[in-house]
Amino acid sequence: MSHATASRVQHVIGDPLSEAPARPREELEAIFGDIQADLRYDMELNGCLNCGICTATCPAAHYYDFSPREIVQLLWTENLEGIYDAMQEKIWACAQCYTCAARCPFGNSPGGLVMLMREAAIKHGMESAKNVLRPFSRVMLKLISTGNQLAPNMITPDHFADWGPNISKVDAPLKLLRKAIPMPTLNTTETAWEVNLKTSIELYTIWEMTGVLDQLEGIDENLFDVITDIMDEKREDYDDWLEDQEDDDEDD
Ligand code: SF4
Ligand code: SF4
Protein backbone atom coordinates (compact mmCIF):
# COMPACT_ATOMS: atom_id res chain seq x y z
CA MET A 1 0.00 0.00 0.00
CA SER A 2 1.42 3.36 -1.02
CA HIS A 3 1.38 6.37 1.32
CA ALA A 4 2.96 8.81 -1.06
CA THR A 5 0.29 11.51 -0.54
CA ALA A 6 0.11 12.36 3.16
CA SER A 7 -3.19 13.58 4.61
CA ARG A 8 -3.32 16.45 7.12
CA VAL A 9 -3.74 13.95 9.95
CA GLN A 10 -0.73 11.93 8.76
CA HIS A 11 1.23 15.14 8.50
CA VAL A 12 0.58 15.87 12.20
CA ILE A 13 0.72 12.43 13.83
CA GLY A 14 2.70 10.47 11.25
CA ASP A 15 1.57 7.53 9.21
CA PRO A 16 0.40 4.67 11.49
CA LEU A 17 0.91 2.15 8.67
CA SER A 18 4.42 3.25 7.87
CA GLU A 19 7.36 1.49 9.46
CA ALA A 20 9.51 4.59 9.15
CA PRO A 21 10.28 6.25 12.51
CA ALA A 22 8.45 9.51 13.20
CA ARG A 23 11.81 11.29 13.49
CA PRO A 24 15.07 10.75 11.65
CA ARG A 25 17.24 8.10 13.29
CA GLU A 26 20.14 10.56 13.63
CA GLU A 27 17.96 12.94 15.66
CA LEU A 28 16.80 10.14 17.98
CA GLU A 29 20.40 9.02 18.46
CA ALA A 30 21.55 12.59 19.16
CA ILE A 31 18.88 13.02 21.84
CA PHE A 32 19.67 9.70 23.52
CA GLY A 33 23.40 10.43 23.18
CA ASP A 34 22.94 13.65 25.15
CA ILE A 35 20.99 11.86 27.90
CA GLN A 36 23.55 9.06 28.11
CA ALA A 37 26.56 11.39 28.02
CA ASP A 38 25.52 13.13 31.22
CA LEU A 39 27.80 12.23 34.14
CA ARG A 40 24.77 11.37 36.28
CA TYR A 41 23.42 8.77 33.84
CA ASP A 42 25.61 5.85 34.95
CA MET A 43 24.90 6.58 38.61
CA GLU A 44 21.15 6.77 38.10
CA LEU A 45 20.72 3.71 35.91
CA ASN A 46 22.26 0.45 37.09
CA GLY A 47 19.89 -2.08 35.56
CA CYS A 48 16.19 -2.77 35.90
CA LEU A 49 14.23 -5.74 37.24
CA ASN A 50 11.01 -4.37 35.76
CA CYS A 51 9.57 -5.00 39.23
CA GLY A 52 7.41 -1.86 39.26
CA ILE A 53 8.20 -0.85 42.85
CA CYS A 54 9.03 2.65 41.61
CA THR A 55 5.66 2.99 39.88
CA ALA A 56 3.78 1.58 42.87
CA THR A 57 5.19 4.33 45.09
CA CYS A 58 5.16 7.16 42.55
CA PRO A 59 2.55 9.87 43.28
CA ALA A 60 2.54 11.05 39.67
CA ALA A 61 1.73 7.53 38.45
CA HIS A 62 -1.48 7.64 40.50
CA TYR A 63 -2.80 10.68 38.68
CA TYR A 64 -1.24 10.68 35.21
CA ASP A 65 -0.52 8.36 32.33
CA PHE A 66 3.04 8.05 33.60
CA SER A 67 5.18 5.24 34.92
CA PRO A 68 8.77 5.54 36.13
CA ARG A 69 9.19 1.82 35.44
CA GLU A 70 8.32 2.44 31.81
CA ILE A 71 10.77 5.36 31.59
CA VAL A 72 13.61 3.29 33.07
CA GLN A 73 12.82 0.37 30.77
CA LEU A 74 12.89 2.64 27.71
CA LEU A 75 16.34 3.91 28.68
CA TRP A 76 17.68 0.50 29.76
CA THR A 77 16.60 -1.13 26.47
CA GLU A 78 17.72 1.95 24.49
CA ASN A 79 14.32 2.24 22.83
CA LEU A 80 15.06 5.48 21.00
CA GLU A 81 11.59 6.06 19.58
CA GLY A 82 9.95 5.27 22.92
CA ILE A 83 12.32 7.67 24.66
CA TYR A 84 11.43 10.39 22.16
CA ASP A 85 7.70 9.72 22.59
CA ALA A 86 7.95 9.85 26.39
CA MET A 87 9.67 13.23 26.09
CA GLN A 88 6.63 14.69 24.31
CA GLU A 89 4.45 14.59 27.43
CA LYS A 90 5.04 11.86 30.01
CA ILE A 91 8.31 13.08 31.50
CA TRP A 92 6.67 16.36 32.51
CA ALA A 93 4.29 14.53 34.89
CA CYS A 94 7.07 13.64 37.38
CA ALA A 95 6.93 15.62 40.63
CA GLN A 96 10.67 15.16 41.30
CA CYS A 97 9.95 13.82 44.79
CA TYR A 98 12.51 10.96 44.43
CA THR A 99 10.41 8.41 46.32
CA CYS A 100 11.29 6.05 43.47
CA ALA A 101 15.04 6.50 44.07
CA ALA A 102 14.62 5.61 47.74
CA ARG A 103 12.75 2.38 46.87
CA CYS A 104 14.43 0.94 43.78
CA PRO A 105 16.26 -2.33 44.64
CA PHE A 106 18.78 -1.57 41.89
CA GLY A 107 19.63 1.85 43.28
CA ASN A 108 18.26 3.55 40.19
CA SER A 109 16.89 7.06 40.29
CA PRO A 110 13.97 7.18 37.84
CA GLY A 111 13.24 10.77 38.91
CA GLY A 112 16.86 11.71 38.21
CA LEU A 113 16.66 10.07 34.77
CA VAL A 114 13.49 12.04 34.07
CA MET A 115 15.45 15.19 34.90
CA LEU A 116 18.13 14.24 32.33
CA MET A 117 15.40 13.69 29.73
CA ARG A 118 13.87 17.08 30.55
CA GLU A 119 17.23 18.77 30.14
CA ALA A 120 17.68 17.05 26.77
CA ALA A 121 14.16 18.17 25.74
CA ILE A 122 15.14 21.75 26.55
CA LYS A 123 18.49 21.46 24.79
CA HIS A 124 16.78 20.17 21.65
CA GLY A 125 14.12 22.90 21.79
CA MET A 126 11.23 20.42 21.90
CA GLU A 127 7.73 21.90 21.78
CA SER A 128 6.82 19.95 24.92
CA ALA A 129 9.51 21.82 26.85
CA LYS A 130 8.38 25.17 25.46
CA ASN A 131 4.75 24.46 26.37
CA VAL A 132 5.57 23.34 29.91
CA LEU A 133 7.91 26.23 30.67
CA ARG A 134 5.89 29.04 29.06
CA PRO A 135 3.60 29.66 32.10
CA PHE A 136 6.71 29.97 34.29
CA SER A 137 8.33 32.74 32.26
CA ARG A 138 7.44 35.38 34.86
CA VAL A 139 9.00 33.31 37.63
CA MET A 140 12.07 32.59 35.48
CA LEU A 141 12.46 36.29 34.75
CA LYS A 142 12.31 37.04 38.44
CA LEU A 143 14.62 34.18 39.39
CA ILE A 144 17.32 34.94 36.85
CA SER A 145 17.19 38.73 37.02
CA THR A 146 16.97 39.08 40.81
CA GLY A 147 18.33 35.80 42.15
CA ASN A 148 15.05 34.81 43.82
CA GLN A 149 11.58 34.04 42.66
CA LEU A 150 8.20 34.78 44.26
CA ALA A 151 8.32 38.26 45.78
CA PRO A 152 5.85 39.27 48.52
CA ASN A 153 4.26 41.93 46.32
CA MET A 154 3.37 39.22 43.78
CA ILE A 155 1.11 37.49 46.33
CA THR A 156 -2.18 39.24 45.61
CA PRO A 157 -5.78 38.03 45.34
CA ASP A 158 -5.66 38.55 41.54
CA HIS A 159 -2.71 36.25 41.08
CA PHE A 160 -3.73 33.61 43.63
CA ALA A 161 -7.48 33.28 43.22
CA ASP A 162 -7.18 29.57 44.02
CA TRP A 163 -6.06 30.41 47.58
CA GLY A 164 -9.59 31.55 48.40
CA PRO A 165 -10.08 33.47 51.67
CA ASN A 166 -6.60 32.43 52.90
CA ILE A 167 -5.08 35.08 50.65
CA SER A 168 -6.15 37.70 53.21
CA LYS A 169 -3.49 36.30 55.55
CA VAL A 170 -0.75 37.45 53.18
CA ASP A 171 -2.59 40.31 51.45
CA ALA A 172 -1.73 42.61 54.33
CA PRO A 173 0.33 45.79 54.88
CA LEU A 174 3.44 43.97 53.73
CA LYS A 175 5.79 46.95 53.77
CA LEU A 176 5.05 47.46 57.44
CA LEU A 177 4.99 43.80 58.41
CA ARG A 178 8.25 42.95 56.68
CA LYS A 179 10.06 45.76 58.48
CA ALA A 180 9.48 43.69 61.62
CA ILE A 181 11.57 40.78 60.27
CA PRO A 182 14.94 40.88 62.05
CA MET A 183 17.07 40.13 58.94
CA PRO A 184 17.50 43.36 56.94
CA THR A 185 17.73 41.39 53.67
CA LEU A 186 14.09 40.36 54.17
CA ASN A 187 12.78 43.88 54.78
CA THR A 188 11.89 44.18 51.11
CA THR A 189 8.55 43.54 49.39
CA GLU A 190 9.80 43.54 45.81
CA THR A 191 12.07 40.54 46.14
CA ALA A 192 11.97 37.54 48.45
CA TRP A 193 15.23 38.91 49.83
CA GLU A 194 17.70 41.47 48.58
CA VAL A 195 20.41 40.03 46.37
CA ASN A 196 23.65 41.93 46.25
CA LEU A 197 24.55 43.34 42.80
CA LYS A 198 27.85 41.43 42.73
CA THR A 199 26.05 38.17 43.63
CA SER A 200 23.50 38.76 40.84
CA ILE A 201 26.27 39.16 38.30
CA GLU A 202 28.09 36.08 39.60
CA LEU A 203 24.90 34.03 39.30
CA TYR A 204 24.35 35.33 35.79
CA THR A 205 27.93 34.44 34.84
CA ILE A 206 27.44 30.89 36.16
CA TRP A 207 24.27 30.50 34.08
CA GLU A 208 26.09 31.91 31.09
CA MET A 209 29.16 29.67 31.44
CA THR A 210 27.19 26.49 32.14
CA GLY A 211 24.97 26.89 29.08
CA VAL A 212 21.75 27.60 30.98
CA LEU A 213 21.21 30.86 29.11
CA ASP A 214 21.88 29.21 25.73
CA GLN A 215 19.16 26.71 26.59
CA LEU A 216 16.82 29.50 27.60
CA GLU A 217 17.43 31.21 24.26
CA GLY A 218 16.37 28.03 22.47
CA ILE A 219 13.18 27.77 24.51
CA ASP A 220 12.05 31.40 24.84
CA GLU A 221 13.98 33.96 22.82
CA ASN A 222 11.95 36.95 24.07
CA LEU A 223 12.59 36.06 27.70
CA PHE A 224 16.28 35.57 26.91
CA ASP A 225 16.45 39.06 25.32
CA VAL A 226 14.75 40.70 28.32
CA ILE A 227 17.07 38.96 30.80
CA THR A 228 20.15 39.81 28.73
CA ASP A 229 19.17 43.50 28.73
CA ILE A 230 18.65 43.49 32.51
CA MET A 231 21.99 41.81 33.08
CA ASP A 232 23.86 44.15 30.74
CA GLU A 233 22.48 47.03 32.80
CA LYS A 234 23.51 45.36 36.05
CA ARG A 235 27.02 44.77 34.74
CA GLU A 236 27.28 48.44 33.79
CA ASP A 237 26.02 49.46 37.23
CA TYR A 238 28.57 47.20 38.85
CA ASP A 239 31.42 48.59 36.70
CA ASP A 240 30.34 52.13 37.62
CA TRP A 241 30.31 51.16 41.29
CA LEU A 242 33.83 49.71 41.01
CA GLU A 243 35.06 52.88 39.31
CA ASP A 244 33.53 54.99 42.09
CA GLN A 245 35.33 52.84 44.65
CA GLU A 246 38.65 53.33 42.86
CA ASP A 247 38.09 57.10 42.68
CA ASP A 248 37.29 57.17 46.40
CA ASP A 249 40.47 55.20 47.19
CA GLU A 250 42.58 57.60 45.13
CA ASP A 251 41.06 60.61 46.92
CA ASP A 252 41.88 59.09 50.35
S1 SF4 B 1 10.61 11.47 41.41
FE2 SF4 B 1 9.07 11.41 39.76
S3 SF4 B 1 9.14 9.31 39.05
FE4 SF4 B 1 10.08 9.31 41.09
S5 SF4 B 1 8.43 8.85 42.53
FE6 SF4 B 1 8.59 11.08 42.40
S7 SF4 B 1 7.10 11.68 40.82
FE8 SF4 B 1 7.47 9.47 40.59
S1 SF4 C 1 13.63 1.17 38.17
FE2 SF4 C 1 13.99 -0.06 40.00
S3 SF4 C 1 12.02 -0.12 41.11
FE4 SF4 C 1 11.62 0.58 38.99
S5 SF4 C 1 11.06 -1.27 37.87
FE6 SF4 C 1 13.29 -0.96 37.59
S7 SF4 C 1 14.26 -2.14 39.22
FE8 SF4 C 1 12.07 -1.92 39.78
pLDDT digits 0-9 by tens, 109-150:
999 999 999 999 999 999 999 999 888 887 788 777 776 777
pLDDT of residue 228: 92
Mean pLDDT along residues 69-81: 97
Residue 30 Cα to ligand 2 midpoint, Å, equals 25
pLDDT of residue 166: 75
Residues in contact with ligand 2 (CB, 6 Å cut-off): 48-54, 68-69, 72, 104-106, 108, 110
> Which domains, and CATH codes, for the chain?
21-124 (1.10.1060.10), 133-244 (no CATH)
pLDDT digits 0-9 by tens, 152-201:
887 777 777 777 777 767 667 888 888 888 888 788 887 777 778 898 89
Residue 88 Cα to ligand 1 midpoint, Å, equals 17
Ligand 2 atom showing the smallest separation from residue 50 Cα = 5
Mean pLDDT along residues 37-66: 96
Q: Whose CA is nearest to atom 2 of ligand 2?
A: 104
Confidence band, pLDDT 50/70/90 cuts, at residue 57: very high
Query: What string of H, E and C letters represents the secondary structure of the chain?
Result: CCCCCCCHHHHHHCCCCCCCCCCCHHHHHHHHHHHHHCCCHHHHCCCCCCCCHHHHHCHHHHHCCCCHHHHHHHHHCCCHHHHHHHCCCHHHHCCCCCHHHHHCCCCCCHHHHHHHHHHHHHHCCCHHHHHHHHHHHHHHHHHHHHCCCCCHHHCCCCCCHHHHHHHHHCCCCHHHHHHCCCCHHHCCCCCCCCCCHHHHHHHHHHHHHCCHHHHHHHHCHHHHHHHHHHHHHHHHHHHHHHHHHHHHHHHC
